[in-house]
Structure 1
Amino acid sequence: MFWFLMAAMVAVVAAVALAVLGSGDGSGGPVTGGLPEAEPDRAHDPLPVDRPLTAADVVAVRLPLAARGYRMAETDDVLDRLAAELAERDARIAALEAELGRVPGPPPLPGPPPPAGPAV
């Protein structure tokens, strides 16, 4: 009786293993060609591309985590330092422009250089 139960248990385990492994995706269903593609994890608050970065942009960035992700404390320290230096830079630029009496305007748009004049 012992050998019959042992053989029955081995047969059941083998049948279940073959059914799961034979499905292709491990779900036990029909073969679908493997696992579905995982959607990549992206930052929820991407940095703006239509204007210069500000300290508030850096403070608002939240990087996604992964199984082999980044060291959160160190990365947050770097981002905090970068935000502080951006804020300090912006304040210094505003102070220098105020000393010169300039009113800051929009940044120049990138484009082709102006055409050169005729050679004389």
Structure 2
Amino acid sequence: MFLFLLIAMVVVVASVTLAVVGGGDREVLPEAAPELLVDPLPTTRPVGRADIEALRLPLALRGYRMADVDEVLARVGAELAERDSRIAELESTLAGAQAAAVGGPDLFKNPGEEDRR
């Protein structure tokens, strides 16, 4: 019985070793291709909230692929900077229009000037 267990243990250890090392011409664990960003952010329109919520970055060995994360962050940062610039421009235009509407053309005339004419 002892001899049978010893032979079985040697066979199991040899099988596991060949499986790990890759006995033969073909690899037991082939190299997997890296995941790519399946659904990138749209290029034909501005990025919206739904685009960011639907975005799923592919995983790599130690977390996320840095190139994909950098690409997404750069795109979202550029979109936010463009929107901030547009908002500042619109607020400036609105403030100018409000000042013109409140002041009117007679803003700097003295109240008594009309009576003298």
When the two structures are superposed, what TM-score results if normalisation uses the length of structure 1?
A: 0.41
Bigger radius of gyration, 1 or 2?
2
Normalising by structure 2, we get a TM-score of 0.42
